[in-house]
Homo-oligomer: A and B are copies of this chain.
C-alpha cells in the first residue's frame, strides 16, 4: 500500500514527515491539502485529523497525526533515522520538544504572519515578539551545533529531519543562515544526505503556484 501524506508545500511541519518518508525510502505519495483556501477547517479534513492540522499520514494501521509521531512511525518502518534504545529515544525526544516549542512552533507562525497573512491583518507587536523568541532559540541551537555534528546522536535522526522543518524556506522570517554558522553548516549536512529534496520540490503547493491559482 502506498502511504498517503496529507500536506502542502508551505508547511514545515509536513516537510518533516515528507522528508523522513523520502529519505527512509518508503513508498509514499503526497495528497495536496488546500490550506490557503480553508481545507483544514472542513468537516472532511477534521474527520482525518480532528486537530485540524497537516501533516496526516494514512497507513495500513490507521491515520497518524503530529509530525513527530509520523516521523517516529516512519523511522520504525524504514529502520532509518530512529533510536535503538530508550536513552536514544529520549535524546531524540528532547530535541523534538525543543524544536516544537521554541523553533518550529515560533518560526511557523512568524513566517505565516510575515508572508501569507493579508497585510491588514498583520500585527507588528506579535511579529516582534515571535522574532525575539525565535532568535533566542536559534542561538541555543547554534551553540549546540558548534559542538555536535547532528542534534541528538552521532548520526542523523528524526530530530534533525524535524528541526530543519522551516529552515530551508526562502521567505523572510527573522532567520538567515549566514547569521548562524553552525546551523548553516548542519543544514548543509542535511541537504547533502542522498535523496534530499527542498520542501517545494517534495510537496505540492508553493507561493508562486498560488499566485497562479493553485497547484492542480
Chain B residues with CB under 8 A of A133 = 109
CB-based contact B66/A93 at 8 Å: yes
Are B50's CB and A143's CB within 8 A?
yes
Q: Is A86 an interface residue (CB 8 A)?
A: yes
Contacts of A113 in B (CB 8 A): 129
Contact of A126 among B65, B96, B129 (CB under 8 A): B129
Q: Which of B52, B87, B90, B100 contacts A105 (CB 8 A)?
A: B100
A window 17-44: CB within 8 A of B: none
User: Which B residues lie within 8 Å of A109 (CB)?
Assistant: 129, 133
Is A101 an interface position by the 8 A CB rule? yes
Per-residue contact bits, chain A 84-124, to B (CB 8 Å; 1 contact, 0 not): 00110010011011101100110001000100000000011
Taking CB as reference atom, which chain B residue is nearest A125? B125
State the CA gap A104–B105 with chains docked (Å).
11
| CB-based nearest B residue for A127 | B125
Stretch of A67-75, A174-182, A197-205 at the chain-chain interface: A67-75
Does chain B have a CB within 8 A of A78?
A: no
Say which residue of B51, B64, B86, B104 sits within 8 Å of A76 (CB atoms).
Answer: B86
What number of copies of this chain does the assembly contain? 2
Instruction: Supply 17 A–B pairs (Cβ within 8 Å), ascending by A.
Output: A64-B90, A66-B98, A67-B97, A69-B93, A76-B86, A93-B93, A100-B100, A101-B101, A101-B105, A105-B105, A113-B129, A123-B129, A125-B126, A125-B129, A126-B128, A126-B129, A126-B130
Find chain B residues with CB under 8 A from A61 CB.
Answer: 87
Chain B contacts of A47 at CB under 8 A?
none
Q: How far is the CA of A61 from the CA of B85 in the complex (A)?
A: 14
Contact B94 A69 (CB under 8 A): yes
The answer to whether A50 and B140 have CB atoms under 8 Å apart is: yes
A142-190 contacts to B, CB under 8 A, are 143-144
Partner of A124, one of B69, B104, B125: B125
Alpha-carbon distance A68/B125, docked complex (angstroms): 30
Q: A51-B140, A128-B126, A133-B109 are in contact. Are A73 and B90 (CB under 8 A)?
A: yes
Contacts of A125 in B (CB 8 A): 123-126, 128-129
